[in-house]
């Protein structure tokens, strides 16, 4: 389990290393952690310029960086782009993209219950209203999977999600868990 203090140490170490790679762009202000918040997934560590951390004056602020998430379990560090961070979907994206955990399809339990209580026709009608991107054949396959207690296949569950006009930017892993094949590397999810 990673403590708040350890999460801050890890991010400060990463910021010191990152600053060296940023220097080719020209003079940049010193980065600093200015806020830490506990989250079920770990520690959300917000950083910006040291001057902003000291003054909180917006004129001293870097814009568009987004916070880092230090995973509570393994200490890996992930950058959440600010446009992803401000949405309700960043947690599900993290679980899916980084941890490989797909949350249960919320429509599945409703369709399963309708199939049990009102029959498959009512369940199919509800499914088609709520997930219009499913073809009739796909909706039938979805219903057959969930009515016996299983989760729908991923490709069908994807079609039950609302289409978003602006997709979330991916979360980037900046440092893998300490000791996980070499430490620091920049790679998407």
Boundaries of every domain in the chain: 4-98+171-188, 106-160
Question: Is the pLDDT at 68 greater than 90, yes or no?
Answer: yes
pLDDT at position 186, please? 53
Question: Is the pLDDT at 183 greater than 60, yes or no?
Answer: no
Percent of the chain at pLDDT > 90 equals: 68
What pTM does this model have? 0.74
Q: Using CA atoms in the order 188, 103, 144, 135, what is the torsion angle rounded to 10 degrees?
A: -50
Of residues 49, 45, 16, the one with CA closest to residue 184: 16
Question: Is the pLDDT at 65 greater than 90, yes or no?
Answer: no
pLDDT in tens, 94-148: 999 999 998 788 899 999 999 999 999 999 999 999 999 999 999 999 999 999 8
Query: Under a CB-based contact definition with an 8 Å cutoff, are residues 134 and 128 in contact?
Result: yes
Question: Is the pLDDT at 150 greater than 60, yes or no?
Answer: yes
Query: Under a CB-based contact definition with an 8 Å cutoff, are residues 111 and 150 in contact?
Result: no
pLDDT in tens, 15-55: 998 888 777 777 778 899 999 999 999 999 999 999 999 99
Question: Is the pLDDT at 177 greater than 70, yes or no?
Answer: yes
């Amino acid at each position: 389990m990673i403590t708040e203090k350890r999460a801050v140490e890890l991010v400060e170490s990463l910021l010191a290393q990152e600053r060296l790679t940023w220097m080719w762009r020209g003079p940049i202000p010193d980065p600093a952690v200015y806020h830490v918040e506990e989250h079920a997934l770990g520690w959300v560590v917000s950083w910006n310029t040291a001057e902003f951390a000291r003054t909180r004056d917006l004129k001293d602020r870097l814009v568009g960086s987004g916070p880092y998430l230090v995973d509570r379990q393994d200490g890996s560090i992930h950058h959440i782009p600010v446009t992803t961070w401000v949405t309700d979907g960043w947690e599900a994206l993290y679980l899916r993209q980084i941890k490989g955990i797909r949350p249960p399809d919320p429509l599945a339990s409703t369709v399963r219950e309708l199939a049990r209580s009102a029959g498959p026709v009512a369940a199919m009608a509800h499914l088609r209203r709520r997930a219009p991107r499913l073809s009739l054949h796909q909706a039938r396959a979805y219903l057959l999977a969930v009515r016996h207690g299983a989760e729908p296949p991923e490709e069908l569950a994807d079609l039950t999600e609302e289409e978003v006009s602006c997709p979330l930017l991916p979360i980037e892993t900046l440092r893998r868990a300490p000791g996980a094949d070499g430490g620091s590397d920049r790679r998407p999810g």
